[in-house]
Structure 1
Amino acid sequence: MSPFWFSEEPEPQDHPLSAADWLRVVLRGVPIVLVIFGGLILLLLLRVIERPLFGLKRPVTPWLTRAVCRITLMIFGLRYSTHGRPMAGRGAIVANHAGWFDIFTLNAAQQIYFVSKDEVAGWPAIGWLARATGTVFIRRKGSDAMAQKNLFEARLRAGHRLLFFPEGTSTDSLRVIPFKSTLFAAFFTEGLKDVLSIQPVSLVYHAPKGEEPRFYGWWGEMEFGPSLLKYLAAPRHGRAEVIFHEPVRVQDFADRKALAAYCEAKVREGLAARQSP
């Protein structure tokens, strides 16, 4: 059993795809590839103009990223809704992490830039997309702490809202595992703590009718390819809810642990309140 499986029940297993499943894979997969990589080409062309004029600021391309994610969700058939308002001021967002669908769902709901572990930059296709859309890659080495602090500060001062997954891993989508407070330390550096706000966000998935409740989870040793095929082949999809909690000021908390604990509690509260009985 996977160390990231949090149930006494056996882990659900994927079933072999039927001819009808493969047809759905093609009918969904082809337009999704065209939308994503067509959007990527257009984004790169726009960045040629945007970068020299605005530097770190990106006044145009985030709108394209958001449109591509919305269209992709529509092709998959995953409906999403939002509750509350995305923060308007300078700051960062922290959310629970169910699986790779989070990238599309959260991007569709607001303009954000993800913070991801450094190895993702080298992944085929996903790494290219992440770099092009402005993802911030971090290394988990103490020697890189100052460089990362400077990078976070530059991006935040440019008006970028960075999104962190403090759990440090994806899950079965039904629960929140303890937040790691390490990344919250960046918010308490001089020059940032007095001007930043943090917005907790709860991401809630509802499985398609008749499917396992953990349908949108991604845990343990799951691989991207089989997971993608499962979602492309699904006869129907469920829905997702993005719940924006009220932002809080970093300066109102004693330290990173207190801020991490508060955000974790709000995210848990939002998930529990919206989950289907």
Structure 2
Amino acid sequence: MKKVRLYLRLARLLLVISLGTLLAGGITLLERLVRHDLMPTRQRLTRWFLARLAGALPFRLQVKGELPRQPMLWVSNHVSWTDIPLLGMLTPLSFLSKAEVRTWPVAGWLAHKAGTLFIRRGSGDSGLLSQQLGNHLQRGRNLLIFPEGTTTDGLGLRTFHGRLLSSAIDSGVYIQPVAIRYLRDGKPCSVAPFIGDDDMLSHLLRLLGSELGEVQIQLLTPIASRELNRNALARAAQQAISQALFGTAVLREEESRAA
């Protein structure tokens, strides 16, 4: 029975990915014909695709809070690659991702076509990247970043890095803090986190073969960016998310010492 469930979920997921590939190919062809950037259209289609992708994952989703009515820089804790479809289904969004994702078969190409901005660690191009993020926000487009810089097991938060938040300050847009939590039988889920030496295929098969899990997404009170510098802004967002997830604004002990 477990294998049947896995095969059915895998078949549905492959069907959704195939559909996404057709959509991405179609919008690429259309952009070449009209010779114009169709980013708003890409974002809307990406949201539609990510909603179908999220629906193919074994989760029950609960969302609390109000979607912002104006463009913002979304800031979220990061647990798994599944954060992207689950958050991306809520509203048209672009993402900032590590450069390695661009090399993933199919998924990397789809992410690129969806308007994802890629960052290479240690490349020294933070000024250029901040400018790109600012241009994106100034054009009235929502953007989501994971300021921890990596995924965690969901039991705590790593330090939020403030350097990428300067784009919100320069653009005069608010920060939208988002808290995402994975549960299984009311306890922190050990299946959903994509951490350590996990590879995409192994994690995917393990996830699709599991029982339904729960995902809670909280859209927290937006933070005015111009009232704070980038490091203070990062701390404010981190404290808001920590409070929502754990009822306290403290970090993991080892992260507190590192900070």
TM-score (normalised: structure 1): 0.80
Moved over 4 A (4+): 50-57
The match for 2:219 is 244
- What is the deviation of 1:150? 2.6
Aligned match of 1:114 in 95, 98, 104?
A: 95
Aligned match of 1:199 in 158, 170, 176?
A: 176
Identity score, percent: 29
Partners of 2:117 and 2:189 lie apart in 1 by 32
Map Cα deviations across residues 69-126 of structure 1 (whole Å, 9 max, x no partner).
2223333331212111122223210000011111111112222111012222112222
Moved more, 154-163 or 95-104: 154-163
Aligned match of 1:256 in 230, 235, 244?
A: 230
Alpha-carbon distance change, 21 to 178 in structure 1, aligned in 2, over 3 angstroms:
same
Alpha-carbon distance change, 123 to 213 in structure 1, aligned in 2, over 3 angstroms:
closer
Aligned match of 1:228 in 171, 186, 204?
A: 204
1:155 counterpart = 2:132: no
- What is the deviation of 1:47? 4.2
Determine if contact 2:58/2:208 at 8 Å carries over to the other structure. no
- What is the deviation of 1:198? 0.8
Partners of 1:135 and 1:203 lie apart in 2 by 20
The match for 1:95 is 76
Partners of 1:93 and 1:212 lie apart in 2 by 23
Partners of 2:66 and 2:150 lie apart in 1 by 26
Alpha-carbon distance change, 211 to 37 in structure 1, aligned in 2, over 3 angstroms:
farther
Partners of 1:201 and 1:61 lie apart in 2 by 23
Matches within 5 A, 1:159-178: 159-178=140-159
Partners of 1:200 and 1:68 lie apart in 2 by 23
Map Cα deviations across residues 173-195 of structure 1 (whole Å, 9 max, x no partner).
23222212222233344xx2xx2
TM-score (normalised: structure 2): 0.86
Aligned match of 1:213 in 178, 186, 189?
A: 189
Letter paired with 2:201: G
Letter paired with 1:74: G
Matches within 5 A, 1:141-152: 141=122, 143-152=124-133
Alpha-carbon distance change, 91 to 210 in structure 1, aligned in 2, over 3 angstroms:
closer
- What is the deviation of 1:51? 7.1
Alpha-carbon distance change, 211 to 146 in structure 1, aligned in 2, over 3 angstroms:
closer
- What is the deviation of 1:238? 1.6
Structure 1: unaligned runs, 5 residues or longer: 1-19
Structure 2: unaligned runs, 5 residues or longer: 248-259
